[in-house]
Amino acid sequence: MDQSRTSFPIRFKDKKGRSIVIRPYERTDHDKLQEMYDYFEPKGLEAGLPPPEDNVRHHWLQTVTSSFFNLIALHRDQVVGHAALDLWDPSLCPEYLIFILQGFRNCGLGTAMSEIMRDMAQDSGCKKIWLTVRSANTCAIRVFKKVRFRFRGGIDIDREMELIIRQETSPHPSGKRKTTKIP
């Protein structure tokens, strides 16, 4: 993720006026993030995530935090949002995950985190990213569409959405190639 245009931490106020800090996950955040998932509801609805069983959920979280690029959102030192993107091989089509704690949904946090992750994916050279969402989760679908995700594949209980990241290279005065996003 060289030369990312995103500078952390990012501070903003959500639609309810609460101060939120978004930053990359650190190992010292593990207990707070695990606590968010322990209180998260509903468990297991979105493609079985987060897993409802404690031991399975804890193992899943360990795998995601050690294998993906992770962002957390904090309010008063409590983790209220988590987004993850598999950026180990940006030439592939990485999977995107996002979970927002109840009470912080529909307040702009999901959109903010998704926009940051979209920019991180683009800066890493990804051509597209994808996610799975439950067809009935209209709030999440609305957020993903704001960020330019589109449905792919057939209609089912769970649907896949993808975001094509269009890039154009143009000459840069320094002689380096410059990548710019085309809306």
For the stretch 44-80, pLDDT in tens is: 776 667 888 889 999 999 999 999 999 999 999 999 9
Find residue 134's DSSP bridge partners. 158
Q: What is residue 4's predicted lDDT score, i.e. its pLDDT?
A: 56
Quote the longest CA-to-CA distance of the chain. 55
Asked whether residue 73 is assigned to any structural domain, the reply reads yes
Distance CA 44, CA 53 (A): 9
Answer yes or no: is 147 within a domain.
yes
What residues make up the domain containing 27? 10-181
CATH of the domain at 25: 3.40.630.30
Whether 50 is in a domain gets the answer: yes
In which band, very low, low, confident or very high, does the pLDDT at 30 lie, cut at 50, 70 and 90?
Answer: very high
The total domain count for the chain is 1
In this structure, which long-range contacts are made by residues 43-47, counting pairs with CB atoms below 8 Å and at least 24 apart in sequence?
45/134, 45/137, 46/99, 46/132, 46/133, 46/134, 46/137, 46/140, 46/158, 47/132, 47/134, 47/158
Would the pLDDT of 176 be above 80?
Answer: no
Strongest mean pLDDT among 66-70, 121-125, 156-160, 166-170? 66-70
Q: What is the pTM of this model?
A: 0.84
